[in-house]
Amino acid sequence: MSSNLTHEQIALLEYIDLNQAGWWRMALQQVILGILAERERDKQGLFDILSSLLASNITQEGILEQLNTLKNQSKIYEEDNIFYIQESIAREYREAITRQSNEDVICKNLFSTLIMKNRIGLDASVLWEQFVSQLLFPYIKDQGTNFYKVFKTDSIDYNHQLFSSFADCYPDNKANIMLTIREYFSQTIPEVKNFILRQYHAAVALSAAGLSQQVVDSILKAFSGDLSFRVFVDTNVLFSLLDIHKHEQNDLVQNLFVLCKRLPENLIKFVYHPLTIIEAKIRFETELSNIINNKPLSGLGNMYFDKCSKAKKLIGYKDYFNTLKANFKKYVEDNNISQSSIDNTLARVVSDIQNELFKNTEGDPEVIKHDIWLWHEAFQLRGKREIESHLVAKHWILSISHKFIYMDYKLRKHYNIDSNIVIDPQNLLKILEFLTPMSDETNEAIYRWLTSPTIYMGNIVEDEIYNNPVYKKIYESDLLPDLSCNTLTRLIANKAISKKILNAKDSQSVKLYIEEGLKEMIRGNEKRIAELEGILEDDMKEKEATRNEVASLRGELSTIKRELDEAKIKSPLIPIASENKDNKDEIIKKDTIVRIRTSYRICVWLMRIVFPFIPILLKIYDLINLQACIIAEIPILIALLSEHVFKPLKRFARKKLIKQLNERMIKLSENDINEIIEEL
């Protein structure tokens, strides 16, 4: 495409069902209707606009053919060589433009909310325009324009640098910009989904309308043969399918397998390699060991703790991982994934390649060996190096591992192969678009893969966080509660709290500063919620967008409060250093005194509450024939109570205090003890 669609044209282009015959012709018809919906055009004006949009791939004969089709369908009519759209169609398009405008406002407001929440000191409106024009639209346009690359032999890798390049424009806010984009792409509200999908479907329609006849013929040829695919499923994909590790592509993988169930039988056959089961079991054992030894966890361990949180109880981690290890193969086969055979003749080849290309690669050598072996099995099954189209390849490896996808690139370069052997779910879904009718499930899967490159931004965000000296100080204190990436980013972005944490002399101080930072976030969220609730009452136009923001902030508030509670109850996992012993004793001393003081204050307050009622009770008793002399003796009674109750209570408190101080090996001067007793 040599030109961009207008805002209105994007609203008018519907999705193209690539499963239907003649989809490229229907795409051109939609583009023509979109142009005429803006205003009437003569023949030459249409030719000029379409030539600009579709470059040189479209011919005047092809345009005239679709104009005649639209006239026969009574969607357009011609008067004096001017083409008009039928009023009924125009009315539908005007409604579509109105809907789009309303959705755009909601999407912009949501983005502005995320900018404020993540403390980015930039103009939200300006940043929104830059985000849309420099990142969102170019990225989606690229995906929609190149949808047919699955039929070519070019590499179908993503250009993930687009996201990091955009964030690089804001060096002072890079991590928070990345976090904002990730949060925006992870939204589930319909307006954001529609906003993104609308751009994609418009780009696909425009690209399909401009395909040359040669490309169309090659696509038809690819589908004319006996289509069947054999797909090896990598370990991480199985973990995502079974929902046993925490990964941002879990939903995409699960949606992909749902779509595959709707395909004709034997069109795509998923298989697992025996080495994949072995690798999975090794990873279960490793993760169990990490939990036992309090080491950093992978997605497996994080998902385990998520399940504990949802169950509101601690699930036995040994039973949990041992059950996974014992039943993993059964779980996989329950999802219609069958076992492949193993080619033992590859052992020498795999060993040589591992030593030659991946000797210094970071990671578990057994995992690297598994990936190389699996790659060579798929490579051998293809039977040839050069293929006409990705569809002819027939044998693939499905993976969501960045390292495996990069390994595929290195191995293809080593063996001089153009076509990918390892593909991600996004590219497999592109093929499925041509094999399944468009549906809500298909749209959901497309939305998932359009937003999935944000996992690469996630790596950058997490690298920025986990290499931050403030985070390291928190981690080294062994008091790190289970804080989300979002909460950690906001905690580190708070310069005052970060400075306190960096200058903290002991672990206990770090913990107190974490709690202080979380409380600040809670106060900020509560204040913002109050402001937004005021807006809800005053501004009806922004009501829906504001409700969504309130709900989002309430959810975040709940998370931060939970994290604060966890931070409060979590005790140090390592002894406090010996040089901090005096500080430790001081903390214990203060804590003990506070608890003793609290206990005895309760007793005193109870006495203060009861004593004023004694004269009243006696008076009531007197009214029912109690002798009047007793009333006269009340002052004497109070004096007796003071002598026989308060003084013994004082002696008891002194004795109890000294006993508790001795038990805790805390020495206080006589004056300190008397001061505490007098205060009680």
User: Residue 262 maps to which CATH number?
Assistant: 3.40.50.1010
Give SS3 for 501. helix
Looking at the structure, tell me whether residues 482 and 402 fall in a common domain: no
Q: Is 552 inside any structural domain?
A: yes
Q: What is the pLDDT of residue 631?
A: 45
Would you say residue 606 has pLDDT above 60?
A: no
How, if at all, do strands 395-398 and 229-233 pair? parallel
What values do phi and psi take at 232, rounded to 5?
-75, 135
Would you say residue 330 has pLDDT above 90?
A: yes
Given pLDDT bands bounded at 50, 70 and 90, which one contains residue 464?
very low
Q: What is the pLDDT of residue 477?
A: 58
Task: For tokens 């309130």, name the residue.
Answer: 550
Q: Which of 144-153, 167-176, 254-263, 315-324 has the least mean pLDDT?
A: 144-153
| Interval 445-464 mean pLDDT | 58
Count of domains forming the chain: 3
Looking at the structure, tell me whether residues 418 and 368 fall in a common domain: yes
Looking at the structure, tell me whether residues 559 and 591 fall in a common domain: no
Cα–Cα distances (Å) from 359 to 121, 350, 367, in that order, read 46, 12, 13
How, if at all, do strands 229-233 and 268-272 pair? parallel
Q: What is the pLDDT of residue 627?
A: 45
Residues 6+ apart with CB under 8 A from 405: 157, 399, 422, 424
- Which range in 172-186, 473-487, 606-620, 647-661 is most confidently predicted, on average pLDDT? 172-186
Rounded to the nearest 10°, the torsion over CA 405, 406, 407, 410 is 130
| Interval 267-273 mean pLDDT | 90
Given pLDDT bands bounded at 50, 70 and 90, which one contains residue 580?
very low
Give SS3 for 272. strand
Q: Is 42 inside any structural domain?
A: no
Looking at the structure, tell me whether residues 550 and 600 fall in a common domain: no
pLDDT, greater one: 250 or 550: 250
Rg (CA), the chain: 35
Quote the CA–CA distance of 78 and 94 in Å, as a whole number.
21
Tell me the percentage of the chain whose pLDDT exceeds 70: 66
Question: Which two tokens mark 261?
Answer: 């169930």
How, if at all, do strands 41-42 and 82-85 pair? antiparallel
Q: What is the pLDDT of residue 520?
A: 84
Would you say residue 429 has pLDDT above 70?
A: yes
Would you say residue 456 has pLDDT above 70?
A: no
Would you say residue 476 has pLDDT above 90?
A: no
Quote the CA–CA distance of 106 and 187 in Å, as a whole number.
12
* Domain end call among 384, 418, 434: 434
Quote the CA–CA distance of 181 and 192 in Å, as a whole number.
12
Q: Which of 317-321, 609-613, 628-632 has the least mean pLDDT?
A: 628-632
pLDDT, greater one: 646 or 349: 349
SS3 letters for 98-136? Answer: HHHHHHHHHHHHHHHHHHHHCCCCCCHHHHHHHHHHHHH
pLDDT, greater one: 315 or 5: 315
Quote the CA–CA distance of 217 and 232 in Å, as a whole number.
30
From 217, 206, 77, select the one nearest 141 (Cα to Cα).
206
Burial (Cβ within 10 Å: 0-12, 13-18, ≥19) of residue 644: exposed
Looking at the structure, tell me whether residues 258 and 403 fall in a common domain: yes
Looking at the structure, tell me whether residues 425 and 477 fall in a common domain: no
pLDDT, greater one: 562 or 339: 339
Looking at the structure, tell me whether residues 619 and 524 fall in a common domain: no
Instruction: Tell me the pTM.
Output: 0.57
Looking at the structure, tell me whether residues 319 and 280 fall in a common domain: yes
Cα–Cα distances (Å) from 55 to 1, 2, 49, 206, 218, in that order, read 6, 6, 10, 11, 20
SS3 letters for 506-555? Answer: CHHHHHHHHHHHHHHHHHHHHHHHHHHHHHHHHCCCCHHHHHHHHHHHHH
| Interval 287-298 mean pLDDT | 85
Average pLDDT, the chain: 74
Q: What is the pLDDT of residue 332?
A: 95
From 483, 465, 477, select the one nearest 501 (Cα to Cα).
477
Quote the CA–CA distance of 485 and 496 in Å, as a whole number.
19
- Which range in 7-11, 82-86, 668-672 is most confidently predicted, on average pLDDT? 82-86
* Domain end call among 523, 558, 576: 576
Q: What are 187-202's pLDDT values in tens digits?
A: 778 888 888 888 887 7
Range of the domain at 510: 468-576
Q: What are 134-157's pLDDT values in tens digits?
A: 888 888 877 776 666 666 555 555
Q: What is the pLDDT of residue 198?
A: 82
Looking at the structure, tell me whether residues 625 and 554 fall in a common domain: no
Looking at the structure, tell me whether residues 289 and 422 fall in a common domain: yes
Looking at the structure, tell me whether residues 298 and 407 fall in a common domain: yes
Burial (Cβ within 10 Å: 0-12, 13-18, ≥19) of residue 497: buried
Given pLDDT bands bounded at 50, 70 and 90, which one contains residue 578?
very low
Would you say residue 417 has pLDDT above 90?
A: no
Q: Is 217 inside any structural domain?
A: no
User: DSSP string of 299-320?
Assistant: HHHHHHHHHHHHHTS---HHHH
Would you say residue 334 has pLDDT above 90?
A: yes
Looking at the structure, tell me whether residues 540 and 556 fall in a common domain: yes
Whether the Cβ atoms of residue 70 and residue 84 lie closer than 8 Å to each other: no
